[in-house]
Structure 1
Amino acid sequence: MNFPFSAIVGQEQLKTALLLCAVDPTLGGVLIRGDKGTAKSTAARALTDILPLIERIAGCAFNCSPGTPCEHCAICCDASATAQAATVPFVTLPLGATEDRVLGSLDLERALQGVRRAFQPGLLAAAHRGILYIDEVNLLPDHLVDVLLDVAAMGVNSVQREGLSITHPARFTLIGTMNLEEGDLRPQLLDRFGLMVEVTAPREKTLRAEVVRRRIAFEADPAGYAITWDRQQDALRHQLASAQRRLPEVVLDDALLDLISHLCCEFDVASLRADIVMHKASRALAALEERQRVTPEDVRGAAELVLPHRRRRKPFEQPGLDRARLDELMQQAVRQPERNDESGAAPQEEGAESAAGDAEQEDKQQVFAAASTATVRRIAVDTTPARSMAGRRSEALDAPRGRVVRAVPHDNPSSLAVGATLRSAALRNPAEFQVSKSDLHQQIRVSKSANLILLVVDASGSMAAQRRMEAVKGAVLALLTDAYQRRDAVAVIAFRGEAAALLLAPTRSVDRAEQGLRELPTGGRTPLPHALQLALQTLQQAEAGASPLLVLLTDGKANVALSDGGDPWRETLALAELLAGRSVPALVLDTESGYLRLGRAGQLAQALGAECLTLEQLSAENLALTIRARLNTA
């Protein structure tokens, strides 16, 4: 039993977004972002209990609309079948689901009975005319994201596999929840969500206490607690049903349509889908408020839900909307509608801080901004293992999950290729159909997995010389930009003073890495061997299957040993050789500057078996660095 929707405390914007998707299912769904324990899943699941009933025929696996049955649905094509009222489907897409379970596959039982083109509908068919819910949608594997993108774009699911050629309607409201700590969504999937809501836990103690009271009461007696909210739930059902009937009659004036386009231009939104969804959301808001004409306030409310995740952002800039700017644009539009076609003021140019200044003393702590990355070319880090390509930069064969590319004979398959197996049996003995061991086929899948980029940054006092840390941070931001675009995992180690510290454990949230980097202070001694030792430990504990890349930014001037009386430089070289012996691919960015240079970073790169690049080379106009990493094939 779900928690009553009307009993949810606060979260007004979240509830409004869900209700809008109920009024107009063509909005494309809603993405709910927020911390753990903020009622994201609770609200999504509770929505189904207040949705008006739909008409369907009992036993239909495609959720066909009465009067327009799917050609492959034998139940709905039967003239004697009668429709009846039913609840809106709510289908959960698990992160570990296979493509066959999502798309549908050959119905083995019916195929063995001699039924031709026997199709077993999948989750997409079950979600038709309903809700497809994905918890932690940002963790959804790429092969399932590709499937969703195709279906969301066309509104139909096409299955071309195992001798089948099936197409059926698959129009659903997509609801996804996510926590930014695990990384962001692919831009293509992000744009498919019509609305986005950012939720946080209430900061007022009275609200938090009320949340606890209601949840404890619900867990003690779910059925009894739900009865106490029946009146409010019924009111919401009637409101939604009335809004759905009223929606076709709601009018949005051309002046407000111009305002919608003006807002999209002012917030630098590239996708034209934003204009369309804002138009629909504004009308749905008016219908929900029992009005037949859209007002500017409806447009403003729609903008807060439609634009935050669509406006063009710089790398690592968080989604969101400047509400003060939105208010200003709304006031301008109300006062002077004719200015809607005028272009906005040119953005102010951000000047980089000058790099003037002498070297500071080692024990003085400073925090430097990152130098502009406009002149830093993107670093294309291409990791090429000896046997196959790994990482999202390329595909890996023989993966346990992913899209099926072919089937091969196999006497003990771990993933049975049903269609190929049945075809083999039928061809071998058409007169007496019987599957034998020789007919078994294995599915060969292709998938992509993220690389792990471990950034080891020297934050010692020598990095303050000539404000060198600005250039270093700018270089790391270039690497983080590449990791963000390619969905790589990132970890950050900084070393200064007497030890090294893991600023960020391996994560796909490169935003957190960027934030930690900007706040990283500089000063103190150079414990380089400590950093390499911690890097070795971090890589050993990293997720299995992730192809690592060690990126070390330092001038190599180690002066803090691991043990009392030890030689810091010898310890550094020994650890570098240990990393090289474990076939850890690496890149060294030499941060040393000035006329006289010791060249320690170059020696360290040689011990690591890595390429070495100076900051001057990194800032060159035509930089294109490619690292070919050969992994241990043992």
Structure 2
Amino acid sequence: MQKHSKQRRVIYPFAALTGQEELQLGLLLHAVNPQLGGILIRGEKGTAKSTAVRGLAEMLPDMQAVAGCPYHCDPEDKSQACGECRSLAGEFPTFTMPVPIIDIPVSATEDRVVGSLDFEQAIKAGQRSFMPGLMGEANRGIIYIDEINLLDDHIVDVLLDAAGSGINVVEREGISIIHPAEFILVGTMNPEEGDLRPQLLDRFALCVEVSGLADREARVEIIKRREAFETHPASFRELWQKEQDTLRAKVITARKLLSEVVLPEDRYSMISQLCAEAYAAGHRADIMLVRAAVALAAWRGHQEVTEEDVLDIAPLVLAHRRREPPEESKTPEHQEQEQPEPPENENDEQEQQQNPPPPPPDNQQQEGQQEDNKDDKDDKDNNSQTNPSSEVVFAIGKPFAIKRISMGKDRQARRGSGRRSRTKTDSSVGRYVKSTSHRERDDLAIDATIRAAAPFQRSRKSNSMALVIETSDIREKVREKRIGNFMLFVVDASGSMGAKQRMIETKGAILSLLQDAYQKRDRVGMVAFKGDQAEVLLPPTNSVEMAQKCLVELPVGGKTPLAAGLTKAQEVIRQHLKRSPHMRPIVVILSDGKANVAMAEDKPLAEAHRVADSMREEFNIKYIVVDTEQKGLLSFGKAQELAGRLGAECYTIDQLKVDSLVDIVRGALA
């Protein structure tokens, strides 16, 4: 952690950056309007992300601050000052200082970021006083977080809340204080190391994607400039000083113009339309786009926001908020294009009438529908059993790189090793995140213990001791670490899964998740059910080779013994939890929820529901049901019923696409 308030190290000139115009623009707009809302910079390593952020501070004009104030309050704006500065009467003692830039490393603790009890004051005077954290030091400046995606989520939440409100509220260790915390939040990250949660992504006003330049001449120019800077930093900076001064003067001019920029009424409609077409969730995108467009207009010297201003800045505002359109939002023209052979509808209908199952009348009871459908399925499945060649083995879909899957934090203390889930641990190994007065083991939190004892030192007999600690002061460390998970796929391999090559996409998604699980040291298993039984195709493992072999050999065909599949999954989970009780499992069931084979004399569907109820009661784990039923005029909704029995989330067959299945699992785990 470094505070650059009076003297900075020699940094690369902002104006000398090459080929990162969007990145420079996004940072300069925050220099024009520090309340814009923060910027996230995503890109591969070695693309000048950190260099650009550090150079931004030089683009900001020096500021006047109240002398002796830890928050650098503005002497000309008493309404935004801290309580101590507001209480001062008469003229403020002031001084000029450069804009502070504060680095927050991924190892930062919450008390260092937010602020905590002042040890020295508590021990010497026996009084509780507040020591400002990094957010207080960064007031009216810049907070820079490299690899923000690796920072603890609760710290990111606190930073984003303060960046949006402009204040920091502290309630801890008997201290209650509110102080100004207006800063430009800049986060950089490499997507290869994982992503931020969507809730946190949305809090950033702008997002810039950066990448290495492909043009040879541009790459050569970068090398030459960097070598010149490292060889003679002072001479290189002097060479670019004129461009630096020009940019700084433009920032000052744009700041003065910002409050005078007008946004015409029709621009509001344009902005709302752009956000709606991007399917951005909520209304933060609209608000941020208005602010960014006004800042861009001021930067360009416009008195009024133009259409070009809105269109130019919209990609930076919507890059991390854009979502895929829902299926029901497709236009009728698009739907007509998806129908393969519209002229042959009459023939298709005749073929459907000749080949059962025909749809029953609208006023017929659902039981009749199920009975007709079951009889038809029985005929087909019996044929499949008498003719073994009717079983089909589908190829594996092309595997793909998936984003980081995280199960988030877990309140239960667990053990194990891995790289995915962050959980509490009852061992002395792991990252120290906070303290507790609840004592279970001898893992002393020295800092928290001293904080608890400090206010009482004047009233305690020292007996020549520098610090008197009583039993009630002792605090223990609460640690977190990452562990692996167990993901069990329960796959319907009956004949219906062969329709429209669904099994190809399913196999590709499973293999992709297996590869990611191998990297994160997870364990994965698979149960398949077809014919009249279920079997464990893949015991809990992290071997991609074994998994791929099982997937290649998985045939499709036969009846649907859903109850047998659920029972087999229940057995696998039960055995695995006995061996690894600290591992968090998740069960992904891919089925239409229908059943036509029972293990006993009960009806197949009722038996499957009874097993599902038993699973939900026995295991407090996560379930996901992916509905593989083809949606049409007649839909039974059996997968939704199964999901209700399990307390699971249910998704339609349209979401079984490769990317969607991974998003489903990732969202459920998060």
Shorter-chain TM-score tier: 0.5 to 0.7
Match of 1:492 among 505, 509, 513: 513
> For residues 74-108 of structure 1, what are the alpha-carbon distances to aligned partners after superposition, in whole Å with 9 as ceiling and x for unaligned?
79948565323221111111111111111111111
Does residue 41 (structure 1) correspond to residue 50 (structure 2)? The answer is: yes
Alpha carbons of structure 1 residues 419 and 615: separation in structure 2 relative to 1, 3 Å: closer
Q: Is 1:254 the counterpart of 2:265 in the alignment?
A: yes
Structure 1 residue 192 displacement after superposition: 1.6
1:45 CA displacement: 1.1
Instruction: Give the superposition deviation at 1:208.
Output: 1.1
1:146 matches 2:157 = yes
Cα distance, 1:264–1:403 mapped onto 2, change above 3 Å: farther
CA deviation map 1:317-353 (0-9, x unaligned)? 9xxxxxxxxxxxxxxxxxxxxxxxxx99579459799
- Are 2:186 and 1:205 equivalent residues in the alignment? no
What residue number does 2:519 align with?
506
1:422 aligned residue: 454
Match of residue 623, structure 1, among 643, 656, 660: 643
**Aligned CA distance change for structure 1 residues 157 and 203 (closer, same or farther; 3 Å):** same
Paired residue for 1:402, among 433, 444, 465? Answer: 433
User: Alpha-carbon deviations, 1:372-417, whole Å to 9, x = none?
Assistant: xxxxxxxx99989687999969866787433556577989534433
Pair 1:185 & 2:205 matched: no
Amino acid in the other structure paired with 2:103: T
CA–CA distance in 1 between the matches of 2:577 and 2:553?
Answer: 16
- Going from structure 1 to structure 2, the CA distance change for 1:53 and 1:532 (only over 3 Å counts) comes to same
Equivalent in the alignment of 2:502 = 470
Shift of 1:268: 2.1
2:397 aligned residue: 367
TM-score (norm 1): 0.67
3-state SS, counterpart of residue 96 of structure 1: coil
Amino acid at match of 1:259: M
Q: Which amino acid aligns with 1:28?
A: G
Q: CA deviation at 1:15?
A: 0.7
Check 1:430–1:226 CA distance in 2 against 1; reply closer, same or farther (3 A cut): same
Aligned to 1:435: 467
Distance 1:199 1:65, change over 3 A: same
Aligned to 1:26: 35
Q: Which residue of 1 aligns with 2:187?
A: 176
The 3-state SS of whatever aligns with 1:32 is strand
> For 1:266 and 1:107, how far apart are their aligned partners in 2?
51
Give the whole-Å Cα distance in 2 for the aligned partners of 1:59 and 1:386: 45
Q: Which stretch shifts more, 96-105 or 151-160?
A: 151-160
Residue pair 1:152, 1:192 contacting (<8 A) in 2 also: no
Query: What is the CA RMSD across the aligned residues, in angstroms?
Result: 5.5
Indicate the larger mover: 148-157 or 445-454. Answer: 445-454
Aligned to 2:206: 195
For the residues of structure 1 that align with 2:460 and 2:448, how far apart are their CA atoms? 18
**Distance in 2 of aligned mates of 1:118 and 1:414:** 19
Q: What is the distance in 1 between the residues matched to 2:133 and 2:513?
A: 41
Q: 1:182-331 maps to which residues of 2 (within 5 A)?
A: 182-313=193-324
Structure 2 residue aligned with 1:105: 116
CA distance in 2, matches of 1:446, 1:135: 25
What SS is found at the alignment partner of 2:451?
A: helix
Greater share of residues in helix: 2
In the alignment, residue 466 of structure 1 is paired with which amino acid?
Answer: G
The offset of 1:421, in angstroms, is 1.1
Match of 1:12 among 21, 25, 28: 21
Q: How many residues align?
A: 522
C-alpha change, 1:226 and 1:41, in structure 2 (3 Å) is same
TM, length-normalised to structure 2:
0.63
Find the aligned partners of 1:159 and 1:24 in 2 and give their Cα distance.
Answer: 26
Distance 1:615 1:279, change over 3 A: closer
How far apart, in 1, do the equivalents of 2:272 and 2:463 lie?
66
Letter in 2 for 1:420: A
Q: Does residue 168 of structure 2 align to residue 157 of structure 1?
A: yes
Whether the 8 Å CA contact 1:249–1:292 is kept in 2: the answer is: yes
- Give the distance between the partners of 1:383 and 1:19, measured in 2 at CA: 40
Cα shift at 1:153: 3.9
Task: Tell me which moved more, 17-26 or 212-221.
Answer: 212-221
Letter in 2 for 1:506: Q
Deviation at 1:310, TM superposition (A): 2.1
Return closer, same or farther for 1:116/1:422 CA change in 2, 3 Å cut-off. closer
Letter in 2 for 1:285: L
1:367 aligned partner, one-letter code: G
Whether the aligned pair in 2 keeps the contact of 1:22 and 1:240 (CA below 8 Å) is yes
For 1:587 and 1:165, locate their aligned partners in 2 and report how far apart those are by CA, in whole Å. Answer: 41
Greater CA drift, 101-110 or 420-429: 420-429
**Which structure 2 residues correspond to residues 110-129 of structure 1 after superposition, within 5 A?**
110-114=121-125, 116-129=127-140
* Structure-1 separation of matches of 2:325 and 2:424: 28
Deviation at 1:224, TM superposition (A): 2.0
> Following TM superposition, by how much is the alpha carbon of 1:119 offset from its aligned partner in structure 2, in angstroms?
1.6
Deviation at 1:4, TM superposition (A): 0.7
Residue 445 of structure 2 is aligned to residue 413 of structure 1? yes
Give the letter for the 2:36 counterpart.
L
Kindly state the Cα deviation for residue 241 of structure 1 after the two structures are TM-superposed: 0.7
1:155 CA displacement: 1.8
Corresponding residue SS for 2:186: strand
Separation in structure 2 between the aligned mates of residue 597 and residue 552 of structure 1, nearest angstrom: 29
Structure 1 residues 33 and 71, CA, compared in 2 at 3 Å: closer, same or farther?
closer
The amino acid of 1:274's aligned partner reads A
TM-fit CA distance, 1:180: 1.3
Q: Kindly state the Cα deviation for residue 2 of structure 1 after the two structures are TM-superposed.
A: 1.4
Code of the aligned partner of 1:7: A
Structure 2 vs 1, CA of residues 448 and 27 (structure 1 numbering), >3 Å: closer, same or farther? farther
Shift of 1:437: 3.7
1:54 corresponds to which residue?
63
Matched position secondary structure for 2:200: helix
Work out whether residues 456 and 535 of structure 1, in 8 Å CA contact, stay in contact via their aligned partners in 2: no
Structure 1 residue 307, shift from structure 2 partner: 1.6
Q: 1:111 to 1:474 in 2, by over 3 A?
A: same
Q: Distance in 2 between matches of 1:290 and 1:613?
A: 53
Shift in Å at residue 161 of structure 1? 1.5
Specify the alignment match of 1:546 in structure 2: none
Equivalent residue of 2:202, what SS?
helix
How many angstroms does 1:466 deviate by? 2.7
- CA distance 1:33–1:589, shift in 2 (3 Å): closer
Three-state SS of the structure 1 residue aligned to 2:258 is helix
* Alpha-carbon contact 2:497-2:503 (below 8 Å) kept: no
24-33 vs 432-441, which moves further: 432-441
Q: Displacement of 1:266 after TM fit?
A: 2.4
Kindly tell me: are residues 458 and 434 of structure 1, through their superposed partners in 2, closer, same or farther at Cα, counting changes over 3 Å? Answer: closer
Q: Measure the CA separation in 2 of the matches of 1:448 and 1:184.
A: 20
Distance (whole Å) between structure 2 residues aligned to residue 382 and residue 117 of structure 1: 32
Q: Write the deviation string for residues 581-633 of structure 1: whole angstroms up to 9, x where unpaired.
A: 455666787989999999xxxxxxxxxx9999999899454326589xxxxxx
Q: Which runs of 5 or more structure 1 residues have no equivalent in the other structure?
A: 318-342, 371-379, 481-489, 494-501, 514-527, 539-549, 559-572, 599-608, 628-634
Aligned partners of 2:204 and 2:409: how far apart in 1?
A: 31
Aligned to 2:101: 90
1:109–1:505 CA distance, 2 compared to 1 (3 A): same
Q: Shift of the alpha carbon at 1:49?
A: 1.3
Residues of 1 paired with 2:43 and 2:390: CA distance? Answer: 43
Shift of the 275–585 alpha-carbon distance from structure 1 to 2, 3 Å rule, reads closer
Are the counterparts in 2 of residues 36 and 179 from structure 1 also a CA contact under 8 Å?
yes
Structure 2 unpaired stretches of 5+: 1-9, 341-379, 401-406, 525-535, 556-570, 600-617, 629-637, 649-670
> C-alpha separation between the residues in 2 aligned to 1:471 and 1:7?
53
